[in-house]
Structure 1
Amino acid sequence: MAAPPTSSFKSFQTNLTETKAHSTTTNGNPVSRGPSPNRGASIQDNEAIGSESVTQKSWLSEQGIDRSKWVMLRKLSHMRYQHENLDEITVFMRDFGMHVVKKTDTERWYSGYGPDQYVYYAREGPRKFLGGAFEVESYEDLEKAAEIHKDRLQTKGIEEIHSAPGGGHIVTITDPEGFPLNLIHGQTPTDPKQMPAKLIVNDESTKPRQRQFQRFQPGPAAVHKLGHFGLVSADFPALQKWYTQNFNIVPSDLLYVNLPSGERKEVALFAHLDRGQDLVDHHTIFLSTLTPDSSIPEPHVHHCSFEVHDFDTQALGHQWLAEKGYKNVWGVGRHILGSQIFDYWWDTSKFMVEHYADGDLVNEDTLVGYGPAGHEGLAVWGPDVPTEFLH
């Protein structure tokens, strides 16, 4: 286990109201005080995670994971779904902040303003999840995946991508739960796009924005990139083992429940890509356990999440989607694990999609955190967690 948090972090967590009320007096009488004001701070990763944690190296050793067997993932590329009505989902995606980069009679590719050729692929057909797509480090990683998982292939080995922007090659396999996993390599780079300007912000002591007024244009929250996606599994231990043993996917946080026997049962995983010292998103994939009271009784995709520029962008995007009559699931609020400001919506096929901003970054030196699973641990602030989010 890691060392306990330092006194500075303990001080940050402490509620001072009681202490001050008993220790501070006027003429021998306790001073009446209101509740301590809320506080926020950017805390160093391992200090914020605390003592209920292990190093990434020790976790991998405990699991008996052989890094040489990994298919090396470079980044999360795009999501793939099947929709009955492509025109309908295209209107939603534009309102969500993407634009069509290419289309055919039966397919659509949608891009953001980030470095990817596209961040979302839609195919015409009955409602269906077609999996997330990761870019692998090399063509040899495609060959490795195709050979190791030849009994799980959905493609005819490695296939050339002819129709999609940027081309490249793809291998699609299924995980133990039956979810498709798409691995791609060799896309040609896309042209750089215009990045939004960073707002200059005044606080109570520092006023860098002088004779400059904040002004905003209503519209969709422009999507930058795909950040992560989540899967709900009937056999969480098997799915976690498969992803972490076969790919450079390692935990950022593991959530557990306490059983009547006193044992802990792990029920959720927030995992990032192990890229050594390179900083990566806190989680690229999220796995959780299917609960008996779930409104969807079989394994399913939970949501996929796309990065936007900042909080104002996100709030304006929320307003835009609400005015268009789309159904909000949960948000706007701020998560604890990952720290993102979140906003979840149903698309026109009843798949959940998320905008997020201001997410955490980690690397191999960031500890693996453990914590209890519970609704109260999902957000720092925001609306109450709706039941439909927990499906």
Structure 2
Amino acid sequence: MTSTTHPIQDPHHGLHSEDGARRDEHSGRDPQPVIKAVDLAWLEFVKPDLERAETFARDFGFTVAARTPHALYLRATLPGPHCLVIRRGPASRFLGPAFLAADRSDLDRLAEATGRRVRPLREYGGGHVVDLLDPSGTPVRVVHGVTEHPALPGQRPLPLNTGGHATRINATQRAPREPARIERLGHVVLSTRSFRRTLDWYLHHLGMIVSDFLHLDGRRHQGPTMAFIRCDRGGEPADHHTLAIHLGPDTGYVHSAYQVADLDALAAGGAYLAERGYRRSWGIGRHIQGSQIFDYWRDPDRFLVEHFTDGDLFDNTLEPGWAAMSASGLAQWGPPATRDFLGATPSPALLRKVLTALREDNEIDPARLKALMKAMSS
């Protein structure tokens, strides 16, 4: 009697990563989270010129939901709460993200676990909030009961003729040159000098789960240095990442991403932005982790913002993938990642951040810093 030996296949191969976790590596989830947030609600910024901010917002594809003398509230076309709050202030800065709780009782549970309190939101949208600080010092709000807007007219994906299937006969294709209407807020990316503590904080307090880990080449034994994190909605699929965190010499906002209808909306919307003098940071291309087609832009206050379409959706059964971090590993196709996108443009400000990081008690040391710099130039 003969037997055939079949090689064991890594379940990640050909799925979303070439490799899965090894024994004793981070599981990518907390066994007993306090709550399970269901989504990002909005992001908050401070900017000195609300008029300029509104002009860019409309050109980028947002709709103004409300405006006061001191704040601008922006929304997208899909139903839900507003997705951006821009407050008037003396200097541009990122305030922090707000996450949606599934139930009002989640706020009570979170407040009890953190020693905070639940309070009413006495501004546009209403609802209730618990205000927290993550280990990096970034303010994090968790909200419930905020007013949800009905849908607005959106852009319809254009019908495509493909090799074996024609949907458009005796008709031309003309993508309108107009703003790519934002459908929803997708994700925010944050940098931290204390990666592991910050990662574990979000997994424990908000019940988020990791989709993919990145590690420094040759230093996997030291643990991951970036995590793409999604909301745990059980069997309901969620974005590959609602939050991404990476180790770096800076702390705070890196970029935020907003979904549009399709590639034509993204590309034509980019042409519209270019005609109005805005600066593309990187794109157009398709990512590896998350698979999104992307296009990155700088707003007038130099915040990095992304149009994306066609991203991955995972339910809670998929375990984290692992891959080496590199600049070339950020995209399947597209132009090389720019120094502007990577935050690697030499400047006195960057040097000050590096020196500060090396003086503090955190996860940045000279060897890791050198490996990070090598990864972002590879």
Report the CA distance shift for 1:200/1:171 in structure 2 as closer, same or farther (over 3 A).
same
Aligned to 1:284: 242
1:130 aligns with 2:95: yes
Aligned to 2:121: 161
Aligned to 2:282: 330
Q: Distance in 2 between matches of 1:64 and 1:187?
A: 28
**What is the CA-CA distance between 1:216 and the residue it aligns to?**
2.5
Report the CA distance shift for 1:90/1:363 in structure 2 as closer, same or farther (over 3 A).
same
Aligned to 1:181: 140
Aligned to 2:9: 4
Is the 1:219–1:316 Cα contact (8 Å) retained in structure 2?
yes
Aligned to 1:216: 175
Aligned to 1:91: 55
Q: Distance in 2 between matches of 1:207 and 1:87?
A: 45
Q: Distance in 2 between matches of 1:198 and 1:219?
A: 14
Tell me which amino acid in the other structure corresponds to 1:139.
Answer: R
Secondary structure at the counterpart of residue 92 of structure 1: helix
Is the 1:258–1:265 Cα contact (8 Å) retained in structure 2?
no
Secondary structure at the counterpart of residue 109 of structure 2: helix
Secondary structure at the counterpart of residue 181 of structure 1: strand
The percent identity for this pair of structures is 30
Tell me which amino acid in the other structure corresponds to 1:75.
Answer: D
1:271 aligns with 2:223: no
Alignment match of 2:320 (pick from 368, 380, 390): 368
1:236 aligns with 2:188: no
Superimposed CA distance per residue, residues 258-296 of structure 1 (whole angstroms, 9 cap, x where no aligned partner): 457x834311000101111111100000000114xxxxx
Is the 2:136–2:251 Cα contact (8 Å) retained in structure 1?
yes
Q: Distance in 2 between matches of 1:141 and 1:342?
A: 34
Which shows bigger deviation, 187-196 or 316-325?
187-196
Q: Distance in 2 between matches of 1:386 and 1:133?
A: 29
Aligned to 1:206: 165
Is the 2:328–2:336 Cα contact (8 Å) retained in structure 1?
no
Which shows bigger deviation, 227-236 or 264-273?
264-273
Is the 1:3–1:50 Cα contact (8 Å) retained in structure 2?
no
Task: Report how many residues are paired.
Answer: 335
Q: Distance in 1 between matches of 2:226 and 2:330?
A: 12
Is the 2:82–2:149 Cα contact (8 Å) retained in structure 1?
no
Aligned to 1:49: 16
Aligned-CA RMSD value: 2.2
TM-score using structure 1 length = 0.81
Report the CA distance shift for 1:124/1:213 in structure 2 as closer, same or farther (over 3 A).
same
Report the CA distance shift for 1:170/1:277 in structure 2 as closer, same or farther (over 3 A).
same
Q: Distance in 2 between matches of 1:160 and 1:79?
A: 18
**What is the CA-CA distance between 1:162 and the residue it aligns to?**
3.0
Report the CA distance shift for 1:63/1:386 in structure 2 as closer, same or farther (over 3 A).
closer
Q: Distance in 2 between matches of 1:65 and 1:215?
A: 48
Aligned to 2:110: 145
Which structure's CA Rg is the greater one? 1
Unaligned runs of 5+ in 2: 1-6, 344-378
TM-score using structure 2 length = 0.83
**What is the CA-CA distance between 1:387 and the residue it aligns to?**
1.4
Secondary structure at the counterpart of residue 48 of structure 1: coil
Report the CA distance shift for 1:188/1:256 in structure 2 as closer, same or farther (over 3 A).
same
Q: Distance in 2 between matches of 1:246 and 1:106?
A: 31
Q: Distance in 2 between matches of 1:217 and 1:63?
A: 42
Aligned to 1:66: 31
Tell me which amino acid in the other structure corresponds to 2:232.
Answer: D
Unaligned runs of 5+ in 1: 7-44, 292-297
**What is the CA-CA distance between 1:384 and the residue it aligns to?**
1.2
Is the 2:10–2:20 Cα contact (8 Å) retained in structure 1?
no
Q: Distance in 2 between matches of 1:207 and 1:64?
A: 44
Q: Distance in 2 between matches of 1:234 and 1:218?
A: 41
Is the 1:268–1:288 Cα contact (8 Å) retained in structure 2?
yes
Q: Distance in 2 between matches of 1:202 and 1:311?
A: 14
Secondary structure at the counterpart of residue 268 of structure 2: helix
Aligned to 2:338: 386
Secondary structure at the counterpart of residue 49 of structure 1: coil
Runs of at least 4 residues off by over 6 Å? none
Q: Distance in 2 between matches of 1:238 and 1:300?
A: 15
Superimposed CA distance per residue, residues 97-141 of structure 1 (whole angstroms, 9 cap, x where no aligned partner): 002110110101011101123111000012221111111011111
Superimposed CA distance per residue, residues 149-185 of structure 1 (whole angstroms, 9 cap, x where no aligned partner): 23xx5xxx322223213x2112221101000111110
Is the 2:43–2:97 Cα contact (8 Å) retained in structure 1?
yes
Is the 1:4–1:51 Cα contact (8 Å) retained in structure 2?
no
Secondary structure at the counterpart of residue 223 of structure 2: strand
Is the 2:287–2:332 Cα contact (8 Å) retained in structure 1?
yes
Report the CA distance shift for 1:51/1:96 in structure 2 as closer, same or farther (over 3 A).
closer
Q: Distance in 1 between matches of 2:63 and 2:328?
A: 36
Report the CA distance shift for 1:215/1:135 in structure 2 as closer, same or farther (over 3 A).
same
